[in-house]
Amino acid sequence: MIALVQIEGLRIVARGEDGAEFPIVHDVSLSVAAGEVLALIGESGSGKTTIALAMLGYARAGCRIAAGAITVAGQRLDGLGEPALRALRGRTVAYVAQSAAAAFNPALPIMAQVIEPALIHGVMTRPAAEAKARALFAKLALPDPDHVGDRYPHQVSGGQLQRLMAAMALMTDPALVIFDEPTTALDVTTQIEVLMAFKAVVRDLGTTAVYVSHDLPVVAQIADRIVVLRHGAVQEEGTTQAILHAPAHEYSQALVAAAAPRAPAPPVDLPALDVGEPPLLELRQVVAGYGRVDGDGLPATRIVDAIDLKILRGQVVGVIGESGCGKSTLARVVAGLHPPASGYVNLCGVPLSGAVATRTRDQLRRIQLVFQSADTALNPANSVAQALGRPLTFFHGLRGRALRAEVARLLDLVRLPAALAERLPGELSGGQKQRVNLARALAARPELLLCDEVTSALDPVVAEQVLDLLIELRRELGLAYMFITHDLNIVRAIADEVIVLKGGQIVEQAPGAALSAPPHHPYTELLMASVPSLRCGWLEDAAAVIGTRAARR
């Protein structure tokens, strides 16, 4: 079999701030056979996207293809001039970007963008291109394929844009399509639909594809062969079945282990409640939203709608749902960042003010919020010691030697070396930053932590470690968590009680252990089926669940 893509000794360098070049891809060699789907898998910074872009002869700003031979469909790309590369991009090799919502031009209608590759490469006339685009829309199971092209990107959902981008890539019947994390930004249920559409179209058209992802279960459903990357070098290469069932390299084994369903953590005995003691946190008929307020004082758009919820001292309550279900807003209401329109938020039986500005310092101390992205939650100009010192001084009046000792204790608590205290966030890895983010919340010595998707921005192996840390901390400190996530696997591992949120309302509330056994609300079932699994055929089963749901409607 002749390889469609042949890469030999690829080396890509980036230019640092001091002007010196350092390698980000070292001596990578790989090949893709015609008609094959090859997955490049690895954590962020592993060089997977950089290698995939090299197959278009493209390096991002500040990077440069320094050495190596790249051959695609019999053409050497390294050393080719810009005009020749332009003729190849979008014609011989096409690209599906990670976030189609960002990769579609907001100022142009979708159809104009989808047929653009066919027009600029002179493959077909405009009417022929539009007809082909509509056929592809239908093939990718897009609703209303005849008119969806007339819309603008902001008028179409993220999952649909991702499929429209695939249609754009397939317009010129390219020899190779590169999918760059095409479902990472999507909800789990949307991911199923998009993956099914991609899989069907790749199979029907016999497309050769390179699929870049950090998500092993997703890759397992679509790829024939997997290349495992780390630190810009190939760690292991093999067929999907071989990597899944007999991973040889240590890192591949960690990836497979991270993707396997977690056993629930052993239950924690909650401190006994005194008779008549109120729960730590109680929400009663909480409504929050935005827009015009009607006669009953309720907002026009309700993000959180009549929520009743109790969290006991030391209890972990998982809140699960898709984007837009109101789960983050719920945390913001409890934290006082989004005053509710009606209802009560009680802390140990005492009603809390809706706005953070009018809460007492002690109330603020007892509830702490951990943000999803440590990258944006930590001030890049402040060292770790400064970030942790702020709440220590504010809540506990610590200064000088006592402050330094407490910072060291907090770092130890989140399993970070004390030497990290003087570093800036930019000098830390993603997992380390999230631990600092967590330590900052712990600095207040809270009783309730609001964890908003704290692991979802992390690479799978790192996310597992942070989750383990959270489980240990809860045992050590007796903390209660409101644990917000879209990932049922994580909630199962940590939560004593789970609430499922949809459209701002609770559709199901159950003990964490009961989640594995039916019966469930249909929406819960849908979420459960959508959790990616390494099992071959999981995708088809999940699609079947979604299909029957759609049929029932």
Partner 1 sequence: MTASPLLRLIARRVLVALGTLWLVSLAVFATSLLIEGDVAEAILGQSATPQALAGLRAAMHLDQPAWARYLVWLGGMMRGDPGHSLITGTPVAALIGARLGNSLALAGITALISVPVALTLGIVAAVKRGTMFDRAIGLVTIAVVSVPEFLIATLAVMLFAVTLHWAPALSSMRDVESPLALARMYALPVFSLACVVIAQMLRMTRAAVIDVLDSSYAEAARLKGVSPARLVLRHALPNAIGPIANAVALSLSTLLGGVIVVEIIFNYPGVARLMVDAVATRDIPLVLGVAMIFSASYLLLVTTADVVAILSNPRLGHR
Residues 6+ apart with CB under 8 A from 84: none
With tokens 């220590």, the residue in question is 392
3-class DSSP state for residue 527? Answer: helix
> Smallest gap, in angstroms, from Cβ of residue 107 to partner 1?
4
Residues 6+ apart with CB under 8 A from 374: 425, 430, 433, 434, 436, 437, 457
> Smallest gap, in angstroms, from Cβ of residue 88 to partner 1?
7
Smaller CB distance to partner 1: residue 77 or 543? 77
Residues 6+ apart with CB under 8 A from 55: 5, 7, 70, 72, 77, 93, 176, 178, 210
Half-sphere exposure of residue 449: CA atoms within 13 angstroms, side-chain side:
29
> Smallest gap, in angstroms, from Cβ of residue 219 to partner 1?
22
Smaller CB distance to partner 1: residue 16 or 511? 16
Q: Is 18 exposed, middle or buried (0-12, 13-18, 19+ CB in 10 A)?
A: exposed
Half-sphere exposure of residue 245: CA atoms within 13 angstroms, side-chain side:
6
Smaller CB distance to partner 1: residue 185 or 528? 185
> Smallest gap, in angstroms, from Cβ of residue 427 to partner 1?
25
Smaller CB distance to partner 1: residue 180 or 305? 180
Smaller CB distance to partner 1: residue 7 or 177? 177
3-class DSSP state for residue 12? Answer: strand
Residues 6+ apart with CB under 8 A from 143: 160
Smaller CB distance to partner 1: residue 108 or 128? 108
Smaller CB distance to partner 1: residue 117 or 446? 117
Q: Which is nearest to 336 in space by CA: 355, 363, 364?
A: 355
> Smallest gap, in angstroms, from Cβ of residue 548 to partner 1?
34
> Smallest gap, in angstroms, from Cβ of residue 150 to partner 1?
10
Q: Is 269 exposed, middle or buried (0-12, 13-18, 19+ CB in 10 A)?
A: exposed
Strands of 103-224 (E only): list them. 176-180, 208-213
Residues forming the site for partner 1 (CB under 8 A): 53, 56, 58, 60-61, 85-91, 94-95, 97, 99, 102-108, 116-117, 120-121, 151-152, 154-155, 165, 168
3-class DSSP state for residue 1? Answer: coil
Smaller CB distance to partner 1: residue 154 or 552? 154
> Smallest gap, in angstroms, from Cβ of residue 404 to partner 1?
41
> Smallest gap, in angstroms, from Cβ of residue 210 to partner 1?
13
Cα separation values, 406 from 27, 400, 441, 442, Å = 45, 10, 13, 11
